[in-house]
A and B are shown apart, each in its own frame.
Chain A
Amino acid sequence: MRTTLCAAVVSLGLLLAPGAKPLSAHHAFSSEFDAKRPVKFEGTVTKMAWINPHAWIYMDVMKADGTTEEWMVEAGTPNTLLRRGFTKASLMPGTKIRVDGYQSKDGALRVNGRDLTLPDGRTLFLGSGEPGAPPETPAKK
């Protein structure tokens, strides 16, 4: 019984996000980003837009010839991060980050941010926000 259940889960698991209306998984990323164009680079954050439906990280990336290109990295909804204590102050311009993702199908300098890390290997926005950030609790009456 258990084996059957597990096998059955495999068949159903990837077909339909469990419990989700198909509509809710709004993004088939492969429609916009090219699996055949993986990219990996390190660059300097110039701005992070904490917006919906997707946060965007703007970066200056130095090419091999020494010139700089501006890339835009698409990320998830900021709301998830806000609930863990991150704020717009959590990624300041000037920070170096590494991006591992897939480039836009039309060749634009846009990336689907598959893995975002700091140069020392730590994952960006993992864990909770800055300790000491003001907690969002109502004042006691």
Chain B
Amino acid sequence: MRSRFGRVMILLGAAVVISVFWLTVLPTAGQQAPPARQSAPFPPYKAPRLNGHPDLNGLWQAFVTANIDLQDHEAQSGPHPEVLGAYGGWPAGQSIVEGGEIPYKPEALAKKKQNLQNRMKVDVSNDKTWHDLGDPEFKCYMPGLPRATYMPFPFQIVQGTSPYILMAYEFATATRTIRMDWNGEAPTDTWMGWSRGRWEGETLVVDVTGQREESWFDRAGDYHSDALHVVERFTPASPYHMMYEATIEDPKVFTRPWKISFPLYRRMERNVQALEYKCVPWTEELLYGKFKKPS
């Protein structure tokens, strides 16, 4: 640099760069550094209490597209674009599975692929093969857990002072009752399973067993057996969102337990409420049409 002015400018410029660098990286009084990595946790939050425990009451909804596919998926036209056009399209989404992929046993992966091929086929002409074909969601059957949590519909958590917490899902008015600090096992298998809960500090931990083996995890054919064991964790992260994690274990289908996680958001609209999504009437022609009296 020839001119003194030029040298000063360079020094000033460097000082600006350096001070900007330090201001953004160093925490200063009254400020918080932005997270250095994407996975840094949200600032610790302690939810208001109800009867001594975190209050999870409210209307909650997930905004991941995991119901389409738990793993990475591109946008697609969806079924029958020649009829539905862009109405029927399904959006893209990133995997909510930790590590990206579901660890299927090699022989179990074949069944997933078969499910995918058959997801929109139904045949209820024989009781014994009634559930063999078709995604349960397609038939307006119950989603089970954890799928109910990431269906594109809200659900209400009702937590009071009885030994039960209710989760009521807008999809097909599915409900499940979480029995708190409960000893008894599932007396039989059910579509929404047998949920037993306990508190671990700020987290509601729910152990779900006894689910009907016929439910699926998503529209991509991801499935499980009657050995499915799900452990969910609900942790409020702010007044407006809650982190949800579920660990899925099924030694008949997967090589090891695997985990999904995503935030749940509190629905904030004024006077918002869960509405009805009773889809049974929309599936009757599909399921039973071939048995009607020929005209």
- Residues of A with C-beta under 8 A to B181: 138-139, 141
Interface with B: A9-17, A24-32, A111-119, A129-137, which one?
A129-137
Contacts of A137 in B (CB 8 A): 183-184
Quick check: is A35 within 8 A (CB to CB) of the other chain? no
Given A56-B127, A138-B163, is A82 in contact with B188 using a C-beta cutoff of 8 Å? Answer: yes
Docked Cα-Cα span, A104 to B187, in Å, equals 30
B180 within 8 A of A: yes
Are A88 and B182 interface neighbours, CB within 8 A? no
Answer yes or no: A78 CB below 8 A from chain B CBs.
yes
Query: Per-residue CB proximity of A94-111 to B under 8 Å, as 1/0?
Result: 000000000000000000
Given contacts A56-B127, A72-B127, is CB(A138)–CB(B188) below 8 Å? Answer: no
Q: What DSSP secondary structure best describes chain A's contact surface?
A: loop
Supposing A56-B127, A72-B127 touch, asked if A139 and B188 sit within 8 A by C-beta, the answer is no
Q: Mark B88-116, 1 if CB is under 8 A from A, else 0.
A: 00000000000000000000000000000
Separation of A56 and B189 alpha carbons in the complex (Å) = 14
Interface residues on A, range: 10 to 19
Mark interface residues in A39-74 (1 if CB within 8 Å of B CB, else 0).
000000000001000001000000000000000100
Contact A138 B182 (CB under 8 A): yes
- Chain B residue at smallest Cβ distance from A56: B127
A141 to B51, CA, bound (A): 14
CB distance from A113 to the nearest CB of B (A): 15
Check B184 against A136 for contact (C-beta < 8 Å). yes
| A137: min CB distance to chain B, Å | 6
In the complex, whether B179 has a CB less than 8 A from a CB of chain A is yes
The reply to whether the CB of B276 lies closer than 8 angstroms to some CB of chain A is: no
Q: How far is the CB of B125 from chain A (nearest CB, A)?
A: 12
Q: Are B127's CB and A136's CB within 8 A?
A: no
Is A134's CB under 8 angstroms from B188's CB?
Answer: no
Contacts of B183 in A (CB 8 A): 134-139
User: Which B-chain residue is minimally distant from A85 (CB atoms)?
Assistant: B187
Chain B residues with CB under 8 A of A139: 181-183
Q: Which of B179-205 contact A (CB under 8 A)?
A: 179-185, 187-189
- Nearest chain A CB to B280's CB is how many angstroms away? 13
- Known contacts being A134-B183, A135-B183, is A78 close to B188, with CB within 8 Å? yes
Closest-CB distance, B228 to chain A (whole angstroms): 16
B225 to chain A, nearest CB (A): 16
Q: Contact check: which of A50, A87, A88, A138 meets B179 at CB < 8 Å? A: A138
> Considering the chains assembled together, what is the distance between the CA atoms of A141 and B182 in angstroms?
10
B170-186, CB under 8 A of A: which get 1 and which 0? 00000000011111110
Contact check, B127 vs A87: say whether CB atoms are below 8 A apart.
Answer: no
A139 to B182, CA, bound (A): 6
Q: In the bound complex, what is the Cα–Cα distance between A135 and B183 (angstroms)?
A: 8
Cβ 8 A contact of A88, one of B127, B163, B184, B188 = B188
A86 CA / B182 CA spacing, docked (Å): 18
- Given the contacts A56-B127, A72-B127, A138-B163, A88 and B189 also touching, CB distance less than 8 Å: yes
Q: Report A75-94 residues with CB < 8 Å from chain B CB.
A: 78, 82, 86-88
How many whole Å from B152's CB to the nearest CB in chain A? Answer: 27
* Set of chain B residues within 8 Å of A56, measured between Cβ atoms: 127
Q: CA separation between A138 and B183, bound complex, in Å?
A: 6
A88 touching B180 in the complex, CB below 8 Å, given contacts A56-B127, A72-B127, A138-B163: no
Instruction: List 8 additional A-B contacts (Cβ < 8 Å) besides A56-B127, A138-B181, A139-B183.
Output: A78-B188, A88-B189, A134-B184, A135-B183, A136-B183, A138-B179, A138-B180, A141-B181
The 12 sampled A-B contact pairs (Cβ below 8 Å) are: A78-B188, A82-B188, A87-B188, A88-B188, A134-B183, A136-B183, A136-B184, A138-B179, A138-B180, A138-B183, A139-B181, A141-B181
Kindly list the 7 A-B residue pairs having the minimum CB-CB distance in the complex, ordered from nearest. A136-B184, A50-B188, A87-B187, A88-B188, A82-B187, A139-B181, A138-B163
